[in-house]
């Protein structure tokens, strides 16, 4: 047992290398800050040119760490692994000088001192003037190289860093915060790599050939289309632009070469021949991506080329395999998020039929060196509407990892500056699960709800459980669900209103009350969408709802829209 403080005094100091990396220095500052907040005691920071003493907290690799001869191999921890160990009366927080030692500090504060960082604005830091810790020998290496719980407008770097997120897209993590997995370009890049405005008029053959619904009238598609991936000139144009982008982004470790967000591929004779040979349009895409990856490999040895397995390219090819410097990102957009992906094969995209996501995941896993996932955690058509997916978050992440996935991007709400629904909770739970998918989700939820809603938390938890109980074996949850789903029945709405009435009565501060009211928008929205516009009082209720939403700072009801785009539909009852 180590006594770090007693009676508002400490004999301990924090030790770092004499010339620390930015993240090591930040780790020491963060540890001093939070230990001070916990205990009310100031912990000095010294460099390793000081004479060692018996009571030290040693961060990262330095002379004092080496003198203790702990046997900890920092190199084997990689960039992000942590090793926390008590040695005599000293405490070692070991890890790389990129992110590992910094993460070791947060892991210690989290797992052994009970610190929680729920949102950018809300944390729980315990108060313990007499601070003791047990003997510790804790080694952990995260299983995912990319961890990104994306939620539009909520990318606070301190929140991300403290929850050990290394966001590759939206996280603006400084070098002091460990930096991040940096994409030169993130997704849907073909229009930039082969610009139709530059080439279509003179070279329409560079772009996708499409037939009409009768298989006639072949036409090359300009504008936002897809390129013809079997045209050798297209490959050279794309390669030139990939190299230009990489030269402009020397810190990038990933470059996306991925299809545009439109659901067709080229149907020219050459492309169709490859499709037949490979059994999927992913074959032509992967051959194209592999050619770029091979070309850049020598000049950009630390860069991987990333592409999508998305909609029509989701099925893996029969013949071609991704090169070692290619990342395939498999997308689950069509799937049900009310049941675990491992056991539910329902998909909305083929009219409610059944997909083969599991087969595709296992197929890509069998041929890929680095397989990532693009997952979805929001309703993109009705952003305020309840989205009961919390029961699948942990099993899905575990399922991905069991199948060799090494990176996960969780696409949350993409349009709301202020949160309605449960986005703040979802982002927190996802951040923690992506770091360690074995954690107790119920404990996370309860801790968050009590911090976020105060005395109203039990009623909010009761509503949370009621919502998820609506998802039965034959009830599916998809990302474009309307407000007319079985899990949003009138009986559910009635019981929800009783629970929100209780939560509002129990709220013990104005802040907690406003958060409850903001969460209640999800029920008010669904009820309005299901109330006929002939119903007495509906117009007044709709006007009040719109006013309340605006006052709360919410910026949109639907991805790609503004408030004024949707409010007329809410008023007239045509959602």
Q: Tens digit of pLDDT for each residue in 182-214? A: 999 999 999 999 999 999 999 999 999 999 888
Does the structure show a pLDDT above 80 at 275? yes
Whether the per-residue pLDDT at 353 is higher than 70: the answer is: no
State the greatest distance between any 2 C-alpha atoms of the chain, in Å, as a whole number: 85
Give the residue from 119, 156, 151, 167 showing the smallest Cα distance to 416.
151
Q: How far is residue 184's CA from residue 455's CA, in Å, rounded to a whole number?
A: 46
Contacts with 568 (C-beta within 8 Å, 6 or more apart), sequence order: none
* Residues 383, 522: Cα–Cα separation, whole Å: 9
Domain range list for the chain: 2-141, 455-572
Structure tokens at 360: 């595709």
Mean pLDDT of 168-174: 77
DSSP state of 224: S
Which residues in 459-472 are b (16+ Cβ under 10 Å) and which e?
A: bbbbbbebbbebbe
Task: Give me the sheet containing 254-256, strands edge to edge.
Answer: 146-150, 405-411, 370-376, 326-331, 304-309, 254-256
Q: Stretch 295-302: mean pLDDT, rounded?
A: 98
Asked whether residue 354 carries a pLDDT value surpassing 60, the answer given is no
Average of pLDDT values for 323-350? 94
Architecture of domain 2-141: 2-Layer Sandwich (3.30)
Mean pLDDT to the nearest integer, 431-436: 98
536-547 burial: b if 16+ Cβ within 10 Å, else e? eebeeebeebbe
pLDDT of residue 213: 85
Beta strands in 266-422 (DSSP E): 304-309, 326-331, 370-376, 405-411
| Residue whose token pair is 């770090």 | 4
The answer on pLDDT for 466 being more than 90 is yes
For residue 147, the cross-strand partners are 408
Per-residue confidence (pLDDT) for residue 334, from 0 to 100 = 94
Q: Which two tokens stand for residue 374?
A: 């693009």
pLDDT of residue 350 exceeding 80: no
The helix/strand/coil state of 68 is helix
Whole-angstrom distance, CA of residue 104 vs CA of residue 59: 8
Mean pLDDT of the chain: 95
Q: Taking the model in full, what pTM does it have? A: 0.96
pLDDT at 458 over 70: yes
The three-class DSSP label of residue 256 is strand
pLDDT tens digit sequence for 228-263: 999 999 999 999 999 999 999 999 999 999 999 999
Exposed, middle or buried, 47 (CB in 10 Å: 0-12/13-18/19+)? middle
- Quick: pLDDT tens for 377-400: 999 999 999 999 999 999 999 999
Instruction: Examine the pLDDT at 352 and tell me if it is beyond 80.
Output: no
Backbone torsions φ then ψ of 212, nearest 5 degrees: -75, 180
Planar angle of CA 124, 126, 130, nearest 5 degrees = 170
Residue 219 pLDDT exceeds 60: yes
Considering only CA atoms, which of 3, 4, 1 is closest in space to residue 42? 4
Angle between the N-to-C axes of helices 441-453 and 510-529, in degrees from 0 to 180, rounded to the nearest 10: 110
Confidence of residue 145 (pLDDT cuts 50, 70, 90): very high
455 has a pLDDT exceeding 80: yes
Residue 355 has a pLDDT of 64
Proportion of the chain above pLDDT 90, given as a percent: 91
Buried-exposed string 210-244: b where 16+ CB fall within 10 A, e elsewhere: beeeeeeeeebbeeebbbbbbbeebbebbbebbbe
| Distance (Å, whole) CA 227 – CA 339 | 36
Q: Which DSSP helix (H) or strand (E) runs through 93?
A: strand 90-94
Half-sphere exposure of 300 (CA within 13 A, CB side): 26
- Residue, of 171 and 38, whose pLDDT is higher: 38
H or E segment to which residue 551 belongs: helix 538-552
Q: Nearest-CA neighbor of 105 among 118, 114, 93, 87?
A: 93
Q: Which helix (H) or strand (E) holds 121?
A: none
Is residue 358 pLDDT above 60, yes or no?
A: yes
pLDDT class for 300, splitting at 50, 70, 90?
A: very high
82-91, 341-350, 377-386, range with the lowest pLDDT? 341-350
Mean pLDDT computed over 453-471: 98
Low-confidence winner among 77-91, 172-186, 324-338, 409-423 (lowest mean pLDDT): 409-423
Task: Dump pLDDT digits (tens) for 495-546.
Answer: 999 999 999 999 999 999 999 999 999 999 999 999 998 999 999 999 999 9
Asked if pLDDT for residue 351 goes beyond 70, the answer is no
Grouping H, G, I as helix, E, B as strand and the rest as coil, residue 448 is helix
């Amino acid at each position: 047992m180590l006594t770090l403080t007693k009676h508002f005094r400490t004999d301990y100091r924090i030790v770092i290398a004499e010339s620390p990396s930015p993240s090591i220095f930040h780790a020491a500052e963060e540890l001093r800050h939070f230990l001070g907040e916990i205990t009310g005691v100031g912990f000095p920071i010294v460099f390793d040119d000081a004479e060692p003493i018996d009571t030290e907290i040693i961060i990262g690799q330095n002379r004092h760490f080496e003198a203790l001869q702990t046997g900890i191999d920092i190199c084997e921890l990689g960039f992000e692994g942590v090793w926390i160990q008590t040695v005599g009366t000293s405490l070692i927080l070991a890890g790389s000088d990129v992110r590992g030692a910094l993460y070791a500090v947060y892991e210690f504060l989290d797992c052994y001192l009970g610190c929680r960082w729920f949102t950018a604005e809300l944390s729980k830091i315990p108060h313990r003037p007499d601070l003791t810790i047990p003997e510790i020998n804790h080694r952990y290496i995260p299983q995912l190289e990319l961890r990104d719980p994306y939620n539009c407008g909520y990318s606070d770097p301190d929140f991300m860093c403290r929850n050990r997120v290394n966001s590759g897209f939206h996280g603006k993590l400084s070098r002091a915060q460990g930096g991040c997995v940096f994409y030169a370009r993130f997704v849907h890049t073909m229009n930039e790599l082969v610009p139709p405005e530059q080439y279509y008029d003179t070279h329409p053959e560079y772009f996708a050939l499409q037939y009409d619904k009768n298989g006639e009238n072949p036409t090359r598609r300009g504008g936002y289309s897809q390129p013809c991936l079997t045209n050798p000139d297209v490959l050279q144009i794309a390669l030139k632009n990939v190299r230009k982008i990489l030269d402009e982004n020397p810190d990038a470790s990933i470059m996306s070469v991925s299809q545009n967000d439109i659901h067709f591929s080229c149907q020219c004779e050459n492309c169709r021949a490859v499709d037949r040979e490979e059994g999927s349009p992913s074959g032509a895409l992967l051959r194209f991506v592999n050619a770029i990856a091979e070309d850049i490999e020598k000049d950009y040895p630390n860069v991987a080329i990333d592409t999508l397995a998305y909609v029509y390219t989701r099925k893996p090819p029969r013949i071609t395999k991704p090169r070692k410097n290619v990342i395939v990102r498999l997308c689950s957009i069509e799937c049900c998020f009310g049941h675990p992906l491992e056991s539910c094969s329902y998909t909305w995209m083929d009219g409610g039929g059944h997909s083969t996501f599991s087969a595709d995941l296992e197929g890509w896993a069998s041929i890929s060196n680095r397989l990532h996932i693009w997952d979805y955690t929001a309703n993109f058509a009705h952003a305020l509407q309840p989205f009961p997916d919390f029961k699948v978050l942990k099993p899905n992440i575990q399922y991905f990892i069991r199948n060799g996935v090494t990176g996960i991007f969780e696409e949350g709400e993409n349009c709301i500056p202020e949160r309605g629904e449960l986005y703040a909770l979802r982002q927190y739970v996802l951040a923690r699960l992506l770091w360690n998918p074995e954690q107790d989700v119920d404990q996370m939820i309860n801790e968050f709800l009590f911090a976020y809603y105060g005395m109203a938390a039990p009623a909010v938890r009761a509503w949370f459980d009621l919502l998820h109980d609506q998802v039965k074996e034959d009830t599916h949850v998809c990302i474009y669900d309307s407000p007319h789903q079985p899990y949003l029945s009138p009986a559910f709405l009635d019981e929800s209103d009783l629970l929100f009435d209780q939560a509002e009565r129990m709220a013990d501060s104005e802040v907690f009350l406003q958060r409850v009211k903001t969460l209640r928008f999800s029920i008010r929205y669904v009820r309005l969408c299901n109330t006929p516009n002939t119903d007495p009082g509906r117009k007044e209720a709709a006007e009040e709802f719109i006013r309340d939403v605006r006052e709360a700072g919410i910026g949109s009801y639907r991805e790609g829209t503004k408030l004024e785009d949707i409010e007329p539909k809410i008023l007239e009852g045509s959602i």
